[in-house]
């Protein structure tokens, strides 16, 4: 028998250290995985969820492991600039470490019920829905979801009417997509601000 040092699938995804990207979405086997890290003194990513009772923000803790059930709209602030309602459960993990904070979100694509993601924006003034886009993620996979999300963001940003609430006239700030590398100047500024 032989012993090798590399796993056959190579699914070793470091969240910290020189091999780890600052932020990345990737598809690994039947999972979509978001990972990120930052220095201890940087602004933390915040997870917010839309419940009938209001916006729930997870408190900051040294480590947290949280399940967001399929069908619940949620955002990771500074990671994607829209409410995402995923067709599968999302598991969110954050942990302090020696040099800062590391994050991971795992979404399994295995459940047959996971066919779509819905991206939407709500009025920051009154909560009315402004615009919504459904993406057939089962067919498009992560790369397609990322592309469709960016296209939806750009359409939203380009159309003041979409961003203006018909009920209270509040104008939603510009949005941003999943990948910081894709940001234009407007999206980069938006990512930094909300």
Partner 1 sequence: MQAGNVYYAEITVPERLDALLDDWDLLDDRVIKKLTTFKEIGENVVGVRRRMVTKDPVTVLDPVKGLLPESIEIGPSGLITQTHEILSLRITVGGAPHRVPHNFGFWHINDVDELYLTLPPPAPGEPAYFLVIMGNPKPSSNEGESWAQYCRECLTMLHEHYYKTAQFGMDGHWRANLAAIREYNSDVKFRTCPECGHVNPLAYVWNTAKDTPEERLARQEW
By CB under 8 A, name the one of 27, 63, 171, 193 that touches partner 1: 63
Decide if residue 6 touches partner 1 (CB under 8 A): yes
Decide if residue 141 touches partner 1 (CB under 8 A): no
Angle 75-151-117 (CA atoms, 0-180°, nearest 5)?
45
Nearer to partner 1, 11 or 141 (CB): 11
Residue 76, token pair as written in the block = 């990771």
> Among 63-71, 138-146, 156-164, 184-192, which window interacts with partner 1 (CB under 8 A)?
63-71
CA–CA distances in Å: residue 94 to residues 47, 58, 176: 10, 11, 22
C-alpha dihedral over 64, 101, 142, 88, to 10 degrees? Answer: 0
* Residue 74: burial class (beta carbons within 10 Å; 0-12, 13-18, 19+): buried
Q: Could you tell me the smallest distance in angstroms from the CB atom of residue 186 to partner 1?
A: 23
Binding site for partner 1 (CB under 8 A): 1-9, 11-17, 28-31, 33, 35, 48, 51-59, 61-67, 69-70, 88-89, 91, 93, 95-98, 102, 104, 106, 108, 110-113, 122, 124, 126-129
């Amino acid at each position: 028998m032989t012993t090798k040092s590399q796993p056959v699938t190579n699914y070793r995804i470091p969240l910290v250290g020189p091999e780890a990207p600052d932020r990345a979405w990737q598809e690994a086997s039947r999972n979509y995985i978001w990972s990120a890290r930052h220095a201890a003194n940087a602004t933390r990513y915040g997870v917010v969820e839309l419940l009938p009772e209001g916006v729930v923000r997870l408190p900051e803790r040294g480590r947290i492991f949280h399940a967001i059930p399929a069908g619940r709209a949620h955002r990771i602030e500074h990671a994607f600039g829209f409410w995402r309602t995923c067709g599968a459960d999302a598991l969110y993990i954050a942990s302090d470490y020696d040099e800062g904070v590391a994050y991971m979100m795992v979404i399994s694509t295995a459940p047959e019920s996971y066919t779509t993601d819905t991206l939407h924006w709500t009025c920051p003034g009154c909560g009315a829905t402004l615009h919504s886009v459904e993406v057939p993620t089962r067919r498009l996979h992560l790369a397609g979801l990322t592309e469709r999300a960016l296209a939806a963001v750009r359409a939203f940003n380009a159309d003041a009417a979409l961003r203006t609430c018909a009920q209270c006239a509040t104008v939603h700030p510009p949005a941003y997509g999943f990948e910081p590398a894709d940001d234009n100047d407007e999206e980069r500024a938006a990512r930094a601000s909300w």
